[in-house]
Chains A and B, each alone.
Chain A
Amino acid sequence: MMEQLRELSLCRGISGDEDEIAALIERLAAPYADRIERDSVGNLCVYKKGKSSEKKLLVAAHMDEVGLLVSYITPEGLLRFQPVGGIDPRVILGRRVLVGPTGIPGVIGTKPIHLSTEEERRTAPGVERLYIDIGAMREEEARRYVCEGDTASFDSDFVLFGDGMIKGKALDNRVGCAAALTALQCTPAFDTVFAFTVEEEVGLRGAYAVAYRERPDFAIVVDTTTAADVDGIAPHERACRLGEGAVLFFMENSTLYRKEDYRWVEQTAQKNGISYQFKDYIAGGLDAGAIQRTAAGIPTVSIATPCRYLHSPSCVVKQSDAEATEALLCAMVADGTWTERKAE
């Protein structure tokens, strides 16, 4: 899993600009797929025959990542930008980025401290005070390499460190993509569409189209979710914890899950001896919000790997949690008992 995850993490795919990551996932999925298609909004749909064709399962993992969008080039050749997805501007100053289709190196800058006002020094700069410096001296020079509308991704190494920890960019949600790619290798109980969705980070937009087109009988979303298990946060606000296994959900901001559905996920984890935790603080949203309420309604569950510093250049997950999420997804796909869920 680690080698594949390294490749997925380093690959670029800002929301709306997912061709590079889609091509990589297509290459990784091809040996195990019956059929692969990209739909009109860019979702990569990988079809896999199951033991039975009586029902249809959708597994959705978003492949896009948060990043930046070049919105204006200054006469000095600096790039003003807009965030794509939820980015905390406090964590990006001074970071390296890769801009445009060829990945021009750049660094995020702001005006020097000795020229900042008292007020500016006290507060972290918002995106309006930041720019990307690609080393160009004039607008015309910058335009040779980039143009408005180009996306920029974080330039961040994939590193294993500490007690089984992984640090990298876009672990949200390349960890989920890696899990889905592993699950693709098993024989599903029912015909399954593995959808690598676009534009999750800007409003679950790709998932709407996939769910509408496929109309599955059941859907599983696999993602990462924010862990606030750090110093200074009260236990009840930590949401989930690294090292405690796959995260299960009864609710997040976009979805209220049905009890019989998330209980089935829990039972599958228990049956297979997979460590799990419930997300115990309501925050964030997942593709489930789009899928569950598509068409006349689709029963949907979600699982996730806990991730610290989500949406930053340095996401941190624990390898054992990523493996638990992967094992749980494989078990859920192979196990057809989701058809036997009973309302409580």
Chain B
Amino acid sequence: MDWREWIERIASIPAPAGGEAARAQAISRIIETVANEIASDAMGNLIVRRRGTRPEKLMLSAHLDQPGIIITFAEPDGMLRFSALGKAEPLALINTEMVFGEVRGVVAAPAGIALDSIKCSDLMLDISASDREEAVRLLPPGSAGCPAGILRRRGSRVMAPAVGTSVCAALLCGLAERKPLYDTYFVFTAQSGLGARGAKTAAFAIEPDFCVEIAPAAESSAFHRGDGVGIQVSNRCALSHPRMVRALADAAAKAGQRVQLLAAQPAASDLFMMQSAGSGAFAAGISLPVAHLDTVAECADLRDAEAAEQALCALLDMEIG
């Protein structure tokens, strides 16, 4: 089946940090037919192995989790207080519908609050509970949820909350169908939005030689949808290794794809955890340009994902020099 068809399935399963199990299970079902080994670990990562003909290990990561909120406290009137789980901006959350399994609610801001200094702790989730008891019964503290929203498609464009993450995960599932040259680990990482926490333990267990993170990045004046495969040269906490950047650029060229290089991305990343695991690995990142990143209306273009797929397919076939 075409990996593009899996985007909607993945996006339809909310996956706040710590609550990735359902999405991991769905991905596991998609990918199990081609896997040599499938494992999950204490952090909630899904680790899928496909043996190649060469013994060196290649680790490809995509995130499982998306930004969300975690319930912390119930007010006497049944309104719930919460904290951000990952990059959930308080301003973007106001009046957003949130989904917690069967329970849904809307984020409310107190009337008259100054929006320029608003914090998550100023906001409340209204789940229509009439008092504290009912609210806690429906959503006990520790419950995690995500913005609600169905995936919309127009031409090659897709829009949904955290759609970039879903596209990257689907793309990684698609890549797993290809027989790789190296011993390859397709890793769907948990708690990426809390500081790439899942990638740390996964990379420790795998001890990769080469790594590529596939993740969404914000569209900007220097990084556009439709302008070619995004290769991450650096971000806030890691520098890609030139050898791996070159390998990705070569792979893109082989696949006939243009390249755009990104530097100084603001996000913390799996990249750093993978390259610094064990005795170190050669790592770089593939970035998918996404508009309105980390909002309910995140928008990606499938042509970019297809370009990345072509480049990564070429990478799976080739020797990394």
A residues apposed to B, CB below 8 Å: 235-237, 250-251, 256-259, 262, 278, 280-282, 292-299, 343
Q: Assuming A258-B18, A292-B42, is B72 touching A236 (CB within 8 A)? A: yes
Partner of A282, one of B17, B18, B72, B75: B72
Q: Once bound together, how far apart are the Cα atoms of A262 and B143, in whole Å?
A: 12
Docked-complex contact A293 and B121, CB < 8 angstroms: no
Docked-complex contact B142 and A259, CB < 8 angstroms: yes
Chain B residues within an 8 Å CB radius of A280 = 72-73, 81, 141
Q: Assuming A236-B121, A256-B85, is B41 touching A250 (CB within 8 A)? A: no
Chain B residues within an 8 Å CB radius of A235 = 73, 75
Name the distance in Å between B118's Cβ and chain A's nearest Cβ: 15
In B151-179, the 8 Å CB interface with A consists of none
**Can you name 12 A-B residue pairings with CB atoms under 8 Å?**
A235-B73, A236-B72, A250-B70, A256-B197, A278-B141, A294-B201, A295-B205, A296-B205, A297-B43, A297-B204, A299-B42, A343-B21
A-B contact count (CB 8 A): 68
Closest 9 CB pairs of A and B: A250-B142, A297-B42, A297-B201, A296-B205, A282-B83, A236-B81, A236-B73, A280-B73, A256-B18
Name the distance in Å between B195's Cβ and chain A's nearest Cβ: 9
Docked-complex contact A251 and B142, CB < 8 angstroms: yes
Q: Assuming A250-B70, A297-B41, is B205 touching A237 (CB within 8 A)? A: no
Docked-complex contact A256 and B121, CB < 8 angstroms: no
New A-B pairs, 20, CB < 8 Å, besides A296-B202, A297-B41: A235-B73, A236-B73, A236-B75, A250-B141, A251-B18, A251-B70, A256-B17, A256-B191, A257-B18, A258-B44, A278-B142, A280-B72, A281-B72, A281-B73, A281-B83, A281-B121, A282-B70, A293-B197, A296-B42, A297-B42
Q: Once bound together, how far apart are the Cα atoms of A236 and B44, in whole Å?
A: 29
Q: Once bound together, how far apart are the Cα atoms of A93 and B70, in whole Å?
A: 38
Q: Is the interface of A mostly helix, strand, loop or mixed?
A: loop
B196-229 interface bits toward A, Cβ cutoff 8 Å, 1 = contact, 0 = none: 0100111011000000000000000000000000
Q: Once bound together, how far apart are the Cα atoms of A257 and B142, in whole Å?
A: 9
Which residue of chain A lies nearest to B206 when distances are taken between CB atoms in the complex? A296
Which residue of chain A lies nearest to B86 when distances are taken between CB atoms in the complex? A256
Q: Is the interface of B mostly helix, strand, loop or mixed?
A: mixed
Chain A residues within an 8 Å CB radius of B41 = 296-297
Chain B residues within an 8 Å CB radius of A292 = 42-43
Which residue of chain A lies nearest to B41 when distances are taken between CB atoms in the complex? A297
Name the distance in Å between B287's Cβ and chain A's nearest Cβ: 24
Q: Assuming A236-B73, A281-B121, is B194 touching A293 (CB within 8 A)? A: no
Q: Once bound together, how far apart are the Cα atoms of A280 and B141, in whole Å?
A: 7
Q: Once bound together, how far apart are the Cα atoms of A96 and B42, in whole Å?
A: 46
In B270-292, the 8 Å CB interface with A consists of none
Chain B residues within an 8 Å CB radius of A295 = 201, 204-205
Name the distance in Å between A220's Cβ and chain B's nearest Cβ: 15
Chain B residues within an 8 Å CB radius of A298 = 42
Chain B residues within an 8 Å CB radius of A236 = 72-73, 75, 81, 121
Chain A residues within an 8 Å CB radius of B85 = 251, 256
Task: Pick the most buried of A256, A278, A292: most chain B CB atoms within 10 A of its CB.
Answer: A256
Q: Once bound together, how far apart are the Cα atoms of A281 and B194, in whole Å?
A: 17
Name the distance in Å between A120's Cβ and chain B's nearest Cβ: 27
Chain B residues within an 8 Å CB radius of A250 = 70, 141-142
Q: Assuming A250-B142, A281-B121, A282-B83, is B204 touching A296 (CB within 8 A)? A: yes
Which residue of chain B lies nearest to A261 when distances are taken between CB atoms in the complex? B42
Q: Once bound together, how far apart are the Cα atoms of A256 and B85, in whole Å?
A: 9
Q: Once bound together, how far apart are the Cα atoms of A296 and B81, in whole Å?
A: 33
Chain B residues within an 8 Å CB radius of A262 = 142
Name the distance in Å between A179's Cβ and chain B's nearest Cβ: 23
Partner of A256, one of B194, B202, B204: B194
Which residue of chain A lies nearest to B42 when distances are taken between CB atoms in the complex? A297
Chain B residues within an 8 Å CB radius of A278 = 141-142
Q: Once bound together, how far apart are the Cα atoms of A282 and B121, in whole Å?
A: 10
